[in-house]
Structures are given as structure tokens and as C-alpha cells.
């Protein structure tokens, strides 16, 4: 039979070792908690940015055409406004061959107008306003449409801008140029510091598209086409698409 003293010593040693083991497990758990989401072996890496710029000529134009009128009654204002706007839209479709899908109503509103007389608010009439956005795929028609808008009597004309209708091909070219620049910079830096580049760890990009010149033509239209003058000269300009690529390489 094993003496009780020896048994007690054996149990005590076992419990002590068990306590140490549990303490180590707890400590490892605490350390692991500090690094949640981080791989046990984080590779060394280098992050490089590259820029790619591509210039394209816009192939579509957008312009807003509208009319606002004040009359004594809503019915009078609506009748006047409807005649002007319907006439403009009909001309766009028939004379300029603008597809219906490229003409979109942006706003239609009826607003009461008041005067203050001896401290009292007096209703003087109603304003009816309507505005449409027109997308032009033939840029040669821009100045002609501005001229027609003045002749019909549109009194809210502006927000003319030029865009590239499908810029994805240009964006891809800019993206490739940005990645190439980033790779060249990374290769040069790696050679200088004496390291080797491994695989790409991550990649991100941001896009900046510089629009063609914005033309607020209201004043020019008012002083030319609206009084029977020549159509305003419109310059399309160019759009610049810029891609900023950030590439992270593993360092071997």
C-alpha cells in the first residue's frame, strides 16, 4: 500500500502542474485576443500608388430647358406654360430628331405669389414652372437648340455640360497606365533598398473625371438668340479621366 504522504505529494504536484498549464492557456488566449483578424505571420509589404490619365472628347451634351410664368389664376398659368413647353418638346422631337428617351421632365411646380400691402399678404397670382433635361447625341445641334429655345420663349435655360457617354473603355486604359506606373515605382524602390517583390497583397483605386467646360448659357441666350441674334458658339472641349491605383506588394 502506498503511504498517504506519498499520495498527497503526488496529488499536490499534479494540481500544481495543472494550474500552470491552465495559466499558460489563459495567457495565450489573452495574447490571441490582441491579434484577432491578424494572421500569425504578417508578411512585410510595401504600398505604392500610380496615376493614369486619359483624355477623351465628349460625345454627348446635356442641357436643361424650362419656362416659368406668373398669371392671375392657376389655369391661365398652366395654359401658357403648357403651350410653351409642349412647343419646345415637339420641336426637339420633330425638327432635331431627339429621341423621347433622351428628354426627361425634371420639375413641374405651381406656386402662389403674394404681395404685402399695408402689412397684409395679398395674393397676386400663381407661378407655374416646368423644366426638362435634354440629352444630345449630335453635338452639332447644341447651338441650334439654344437658338430655338430663345425663339420659342424659354426663360430658364442652362446647365449645359459635355460628357463621355460610355467612359469604361477610357477608364480601363487609365487603370492599366496607373498599375504600370505603380509597378515601375515598386520595382525601382525594391532595387534601391535591396529587396525582392512578391505577389500583390491588395489593390484599390479611385477615379476622378474632369468634366469639359460647364457653360451657363442663360445670359448669353438672353442677349442673342432670345432677341433674334446669331446662335451662340459652343466649345465642346475635352474630358480627362484619372485613375489613382494603390498596389500593395509582399516583400520576400
* pLDDT at residue 220, as a whole number: 37
In a domain, 227, yes or no: no
- β-pairing, 239-251 vs 45-56, is antiparallel
Number of domains in the chain: 3
* pLDDT at residue 117, as a whole number: 86
* Contact yes or no for 246/182 (Cβ under 8 A): yes
Give pLDDT tens digits for 147-160. Answer: 999 999 999 998 89
Domain span at residue 29 reads 1-40
* pLDDT at residue 233, as a whole number: 76
Give pLDDT tens digits for 180-225. Answer: 999 999 999 999 988 899 999 999 999 876 655 444 444 334 433 3
* Contact yes or no for 173/180 (Cβ under 8 A): no
Q: Comparing 12-16, 41-45, 119-123, 232-236, which segment has the lowest mean pLDDT?
A: 12-16
**Angle formed by the axes of helices 74-94 and 142-152, nearest 10°:** 150
Same domain, 51 and 92: no
Same domain, 159 and 105: yes
Same domain, 89 and 175: no
Same domain, 26 and 85: no
* Contact yes or no for 216/160 (Cβ under 8 A): yes
Whole-number Å distance between alpha carbons of 37 and 109: 54
**What is the reported pTM?**
0.64
Amino acid at each position: 500500500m502506498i503511504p498517504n504522504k506519498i499520495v498527497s505529494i503526488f496529488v499536490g504536484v499534479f494540481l500544481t502542474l495543472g494550474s500552470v498549464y491552465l495559466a499558460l492557456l489563459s495567457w495565450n488566449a489573452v495574447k490571441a485576443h490582441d491579434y484577432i483578424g491578424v494572421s500569425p505571420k504578417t508578411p512585410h509589404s510595401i504600398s505604392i500608388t500610380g496615376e493614369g490619365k486619359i483624355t477623351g472628347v465628349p460625345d454627348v451634351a446635356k442641357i436643361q430647358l424650362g419656362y416659368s410664368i406668373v398669371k392671375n389664376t392657376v389655369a391661365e398659368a398652366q395654359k401658357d406654360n403648357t403651350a410653351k413647353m409642349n412647343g419646345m418638346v415637339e420641336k426637339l422631337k420633330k425638327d432635331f430628331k431627339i429621341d423621347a428617351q433622351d428628354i426627361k421632365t425634371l420639375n413641374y411646380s405651381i406656386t402662389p405669389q403674394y404681395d404685402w400691402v399695408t402689412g397684409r399678404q395679398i395674393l397676386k397670382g400663381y407661378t407655374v414652372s416646368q423644366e426638362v433635361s435634354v440629352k444630345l447625341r449630335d453635338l452639332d445641334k447644341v447651338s441650334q437648340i439654344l437658338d430655338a429655345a430663345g425663339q420659342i420663349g424659354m426663360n430658364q435655360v442652362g446647365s449645359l455640360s459635355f460628357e463621355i457617354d460610355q467612359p469604361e473603355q477610357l477608364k480601363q486604359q487609365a487603370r492599366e497606365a496607373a498599375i504600370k506606373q505603380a509597378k515601375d515605382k515598386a520595382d525601382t524602390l525594391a532595387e534601391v533598398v535591396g529587396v525582392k517583390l512578391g505577389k500583390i497583397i491588395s489593390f484599390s483605386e479611385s477615379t476622378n473625371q474632369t468634366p469639359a467646360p460647364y457653360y451657363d448659357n442663360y445670359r448669353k441666350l438672353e442677349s442673342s438668340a432670345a432677341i433674334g441674334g446669331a446662335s451662340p458658339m459652343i466649345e465642346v472641349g475635352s474630358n480627362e479621366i484619372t485613375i489613382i491605383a494603390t498596389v500593395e506588394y509582399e516583400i520576400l
